[in-house]
Amino acid sequence: MSNPTACGKANHSGMTCDLDYLVQHLAQREPGVPLAVVGFSLGANICLKWLGECGQQGRTLPVVACVGVSAPFQPGVVAEQISRGFCRVYQRHLLRSLFRDIERKIAVLNDDMGLARLELRRLNTFVKFDDRLTGPWNGFAGADDYYAKTRSDVLLRHVAVPTLIVHANNDPLVPFHLVPRPGGVSDKVTVEITKGGGHVGFVCGRWPWSARFWLESRIPEFLSPHLSHMPPLHYRA
């Protein structure tokens, strides 16, 4: 079983060790209960990369199916995309959240981790942030090395469990050309493209006050056949 404490100082888009630890833990706690994994955005990249790594290594996993929604596939391209146009609003919001998290960590640990407060605020794009923090803190040489080694698209041909990839044609953060083509995925992977949906949106319905969240029906629809023989869970205190 992987050791989650050995993964790095901060979470990142290729950190599969936590997911692997959780799945193995659940499999040991509830033997015989089939597990499914669902990930969104960076979480989807982690799920897909993990499945590809396990398939490449020939590992047998207690996971019967997976769904990845709005995965970035190539985090480096997405980091550049989010620094352009209106996407910069989203980038600014996310970076502010990350700054607050780091400042809290510095305060709790009473350790500036080699980072001056003014320097932190100058990291105003994800590429700068990843080059200075995410990459080095997790053992990568910098942003380019981090992006190259956290891609999920190059591993999808190794996925060995039924997997659904959902992506919207109008996703503002993940360009459509990043979506893997049939030749780049295993026969276990289904890539489903929708005309609309944005990034992890997929809201439909004629009226705002009666919106329907399409993923709430599509994900269970895909997973149900694989979980149909699931025995009852035995919860433990």
pTM, entire model:
0.88
Residue-wise pLDDT for 179-227, tens only, equals 999 899 999 999 999 999 999 999 987 777 778 899 999 999 999 999 8
Domain boundary among 100, 127, 147: 147
| 228 classed as catalytic | no
Whether residues 185 and 199 fall in one domain: yes
Residue-wise pLDDT for 133-179, tens only, equals 999 999 999 999 999 999 999 999 999 999 999 999 999 999 999 99
Please pick, among 41, 130, 152, 158, the residue that the annotation labels catalytic. Answer: 41
The encoded tokens of residue 121 equal: 């605020």
Whether residues 64 and 107 fall in one domain: no
| 13 classed as catalytic | no
In the chain the first and final C-alpha atoms are separated, in Å, by 23
| 153 classed as catalytic | no
Whether residues 160 and 46 fall in one domain: yes
159 domain residue, yes or no: yes
Whether residues 10 and 53 fall in one domain: yes
Range(s) of the domain holding residue 137: 78-147
3-state DSSP assignment of residue 180: coil
The count of domains in the chain is 2
**Distance between CA atoms of residues 70 and 152, nearest Å:** 12
232 domain residue, yes or no: no
Q: What angle do CA 83, 87, 88 make, to 5 degrees?
A: 55
Whether residues 138 and 120 fall in one domain: yes
Please pick, among 20, 130, 131, 171, the residue that the annotation labels catalytic. Answer: 171
173 domain residue, yes or no: yes
The encoded tokens of residue 156 equal: 């999808």
75 with 147: CB under 8 angstroms? Answer: yes
165 with 71: CB under 8 angstroms? Answer: yes
